[in-house]
Amino acid sequence: MANIELRTMRAEEWGDVAALICDSTNGWCESRGRPVMFSGPKQDVQVFCSVYEKLDPGCCVVAEDIVTRRLAGSCFYHPRSSHVSLGIMNVHPDYFGQGVASRMLRHITDVADRTGKPMRLVSSTLNLDSYCLYNRVGFVPRLIYHDMILKVPAGGLDCEVPGAERVRPATAADVAAMIELEWEVNHIRRENDLRYFVENADGIWHVSVLEGRGGSLDGFLVSIAHPAIRMLGPGAIRTEDGTAALILAELNQHRGHQPVWLVPADRPRLVHQMYAWGAINCELHFAQARGEWSPPNGIVMPTFLPETG
């Protein structure tokens, strides 16, 4: 470990970090006999660098082997006004079990501790390596999520859902209400992220909102369509019916494709609605928090890019 130094990712390293994320994640999956996470070109995975750097420039810590000049690990983090969230964490298989992840994590928990902020992340329940890593520094699993997948028919899903008539695409004028709704439902604030999704300068995002009474919002749900990641979330919604209506609207943005999304396991009616549409489980995730946390006032749908919990 003496030969490992931590520093901030450089702009010219996006390709190396993308390759590291692929080799680490796919290597871990293969060693457990699971299907690989990233099956396309490694360079597609640079989307993690481009999205995270747009939202939080300079917040990717890399671990460099100063003898070989190889990148041994990388981890993104997001200091927000209410909390610090931890993004994708990776160590190259050649460096597994040598304390590289623990050092990067300690670097990030120090950032949170200096500002007195709680932390959030989403981690796979099937990955004891990352579970132990996070648990040892004080993360507590708070919510369990079903990872659900569904091949959306080319003509879209044709289902009846109460409230569907109140769902529409978000506009810039909705962002202030989305910020307040997420604060009320999930007790976090991340103004830049929500503005960035709705602006959609990259052309990979779509956001639906659920109109409430008197011009208020009862929910929003974002989704990303990119070769490296096709996923619904983040979302914050007041009711289960509203969540189903927003999921349906966002699934229909992915016609002919198979997105993944996270549904809270403690909402069986919602989960069974997803089964009725043909969705199946592919994994389980924990939403974890370190420090202050309160149960959601509604439904929270986390995502892996940018990570929230």
Secondary structure of the chain in HEC code, one letter for each residue: CCCEEEEECCHHHHHHHHHHHHHHHHHHHHHCCCCCCCCCCHHHHHHHHHHHHHHCCCCEEEEEECCCCEEEEEEEEEECCCCEEEEEEEECHHHCCCCHHHHHHHHHHHHHHHHCCCEEEEEECCCHHHHHHHHHCCCEEEEEEEEEECCCCCCCCCCCCCCHHHEEECCHHHHHHHHHHHHHHHCCCCHHHHHHHHHCCCCCEEEEEEECHHHCEEEEEEEEEECCEEEEEEEEECCHHHHHHHHHHHHHHHCCCCCEEEEECCCHHHHHHHHHHCCEEEEEEEEEEECCCCCCCCEEECCECCECC
CB of 228 to ligand COA, least distance (A): 15
Comparison of 78 and 238: residue with beta carbon closer to ligand COA: 78
Residue number closest to ligand COA, CB atom: 101
Comparison of 209 and 228: residue with beta carbon closer to ligand COA: 228
CB of 251 to ligand COA, least distance (A): 25
CB of 236 to ligand COA, least distance (A): 22
Residue 227 and residue 271: Cα distance in Å, rounded? 27
Comparison of 35 and 97: residue with beta carbon closer to ligand COA: 97
CB of 234 to ligand COA, least distance (A): 17
CB of 121 to ligand COA, least distance (A): 7
Residues of this chain that interact with ligand COA (CB under 6 A) are 24-25, 28, 89-91, 96-102, 123-124, 127-130, 132-133, 136
Specify whether the CB–CB gap between 161 and 20 falls below 8 A. Answer: no
CB of 23 to ligand COA, least distance (A): 9
CB of 126 to ligand COA, least distance (A): 9
Comparison of 128 and 276: residue with beta carbon closer to ligand COA: 128
Comparison of 96 and 183: residue with beta carbon closer to ligand COA: 96
Q: Which residue has the tokens 């009616």?
A: 269
Comparison of 159 and 284: residue with beta carbon closer to ligand COA: 284
Comparison of 89 and 181: residue with beta carbon closer to ligand COA: 89
